[in-house]
Amino acid sequence: MKKKIMTMYSEFGSMPTTEEGKKILKEAAEKIRPLKIVHVYHTGASIGYYHRVLSILAEKQKILLEMIRLDHYVTLGRTPSTDVLSYQTFPDEKHKGKFNPRLVSAGDSLFQKFEGLKIISDAHDCSDADAFSRFSDSKELPRVKCFPSKWFLENYNVIMIAGIATTDSRTFPDEFDRVIEISCKFGRVTGDYYFHRIRESVVEQLETFFPNRVDFKQAEGNRKVYTEELRHTLISIGAPGWGPFSGSYHCALRAGALLFAHISLNDIQYLPHANLVDGEDYISYDLYNFNRKLKRLLDDPKKIELVRKSGRAKFAEGFDYSQSADKLWEFIKENVKR
């Protein structure tokens, strides 16, 4: 930047002394100054994806980035000087244990007063839920949304789709025999842990109709260990958790296991930059056709090979932090007024 300013000086022959010259120089310097983003963050699903995208823009020297926790923002009592204010709060207002109404209300007030470009980061893990429904202009505000439904994309101003937060998004080639025919690792969840009983029903059907063909043993360790296990697996059973999907979908696609997922996936934009197609990149089920569709799939090894490989290729195409960073940068450049 210093070089660019010196170049501008040379166009004047020396440091400008007139008011008009100083004004021109100031305007020129303002145009080459990196844009600044202040991102206020709290907690929520996959906030790490968006944080990584912002970090990439900062690393490429496209922006100056300042990250502030919501409680520190409220304590500060003002928005630092910035071109763009990005804002995220815990997304579920009904969660009494995690949603702090007083803190969020104070943060909202500061956010609403900001007069520059504002972006909201919606980290709700329910694809149809609006984490900022309390805002009167919620539908119009530019938004980063985790795993939005197709309905949500049509009705809200989503400028960037966030995927699952991970430090490793590689896909893996076929290097091992797939000795595990069916993998189901979420176990039998009973009672009212979730607002649905899909997982419980799936486990019951697997135990009843496929008792000797399923690996139910919980993966020891973290997601990395689980992904390694899936590299030895033909079919991975997926079911919703708190939202209409789960992190196991991500692992199965990366590892090249066929994702056999609940039909709720059909309504979600799961990958930021590509559309997963039912029947081509994964196979969907509901609780009425689960048994029949899985049996039919097991009788068609050629179909299993085609779908699992297609799902892996689609994941490689559609999960890309750098592509998300480029998309966000284009939006910011077009909408920031200097």
**Domain limits, the chain:** 34-165+321-335, 180-318
Task: Quote the pLDDT of residue 5.
Answer: 43
Which one-letter amino acid corresponds to residue 242? Answer: W
pLDDT at 166 (0 to 100) = 79
Average pLDDT over residues 27-38: 72
The second-level CATH assignment, the architecture, of 34-165+321-335 is 3-Layer(aba) Sandwich (3.40)
> What is the CATH class of 180-318?
alpha beta
Mean pLDDT over the full length of the chain: 88
Averaged pLDDT for residues 249-264: 95
β-pairing, 84-87 vs 214-215, is: unpaired
Name the phi and psi angles at 199, rounded to 5: -60, -45
Q: How confident is the model at residue 14 (pLDDT cuts 50, 70, 90)?
A: low
User: Residue 197's pLDDT band (boundaries 50, 70, 90)?
Assistant: confident
pLDDT in tens, 151-184: 999 999 999 999 888 777 888 989 999 999 999 9
Q: Please give the Cα distance from 268 to 149 (Å, whole number).
A: 4
pLDDT at 220: 66
Element (H, E) at 160: strand 158-162
- In the block, tokens 């956010």 appear at 111
CA geometry: angle 123, 66, 146, nearest 5 deg: 15
Hey, is 238 helix, strand or coil? Answer: strand
Side chain identity, residue 319: F
Q: pLDDT grade, residue 10 (50/70/90)?
A: very low
Residue 6 banded pLDDT, cuts 50, 70, 90: very low
Q: Which single residue is written with the structure tokens 């520059």?
A: 116
DSSP 46: T
Read off the tokens for 56: 């990439």
Q: Name which residue leads in pLDDT, 124 or 313.
A: 313
How confident is the model over 64-109, as pLDDT tens digits? 999 999 999 999 999 999 999 999 998 888 777 788 999 999 999 9
Q: What is the spatial distance between Cα 221 and Cα 228, in angstroms, rounded to a whole number?
A: 11
Please give the full DSSP string across 48-109, using - where no structure is assigned. Answer: HHHHHHHHHHHHTTSEEEEEEEHHHHHHHTSPPS-SEEEE---S-TT-TTT--HHHHHHHHH
